[in-house]
Amino acid sequence: MKSSRRSVIGKIMSTFAGLAGFNLVAKAQEKKSSAPLFNRDSPDVTLYPGSLRYGNLVFVSGTGADAESVFEIRADTEFVLKKMEKRLIAAGSSMEKVLKVTVFLSDMSDFQGMNEIYKGRFGKNPPVRSTVAVAKGGIPGNSILEIDCIAYV
């Protein structure tokens, strides 16, 4: 009876020790990756950082053609995707590691043209995507589209 009780007590103590060790490792990993890293390519980084890396995730803020816009959906989509790719690479990620994309269009009649350029840009396994129509002039910088994404490193 004593030996089985000791065995049970030993197993319980081992379990607590294991849980305590797991907790320490989790906290160490959390501390290691909790400081956000900003890509400061935006003129007003306090309001609009180009991207932010937090742990193993990269958040790329809404990217539009803005001043560079030629107001043609294919050209502007190409420009925005290249700009987004540069931000991902700078953060240690890539287009193939994008998990989620949101596309904002000022005119849903541009959907097909945007898709022609968008298709195939994210590797064999494209990310999940939402496409949202916004009111004319509703995209900052008077852009005709804006794209943001979340990726992993």
Q: Residue 28 has what pLDDT?
A: 44
pLDDT over 90 for what percent of the chain?
56
Q: List beta partners, residue 98.
A: 151
CA distance 53 to 40: 12
Same domain, 25 and 100: no
Q: How many domains does the chain have?
A: 2
Give the mean pLDDT of the chain: 81
What CATH code is carried by the domain that includes residue 118? Answer: 3.30.1330.40
Is residue 135's pLDDT more than 80?
yes
| Domain range enclosing 74 | 37-152
92 residue type, one letter? G
Same domain, 75 and 62: yes
Same domain, 70 and 101: yes
Q: Residue 50 has what pLDDT?
A: 85
At 38-52, the pLDDT tens digits run: 555 555 555 677 899
Same domain, 48 and 8: no
**Two structure tokens written together for 35:** 């400081």
Same domain, 8 and 54: no
Same domain, 15 and 76: no
CA distance 7 to 18: 16
Is residue 13's pLDDT more than 70?
no
Same domain, 17 and 88: no
Same domain, 82 and 42: yes
Same domain, 64 and 99: yes
Q: Residue 22 has what pLDDT?
A: 45
Q: Is 69 helix (H, G, I), strand (E, B) or coil?
A: coil
138 residue type, one letter? G
Query: Which of the pair, 4 or 97, is modelled with greater confidence?
Result: 97
Same domain, 64 and 126: yes
Buried b (16+ CB within 10 A) or exposed e, 60-97: bbbbbbbeebeeebeebbbbbbebbbbbbebbebbbeb
Query: Which of the pair, 92 or 1, is modelled with greater confidence?
Result: 92
Residues in the chain: 153
Q: Residue 151 has what pLDDT?
A: 98
| Separation in Å, CA 20 to CA 3, 34, 81, 110, 122 | 25, 21, 45, 55, 41
At 15-67, the pLDDT tens digits run: 444 444 444 444 444 444 455 565 555 555 556 778 999 999 999 999 998 77
Is residue 107's pLDDT more than 70?
yes
Same domain, 30 and 41: no
Same domain, 22 and 59: no
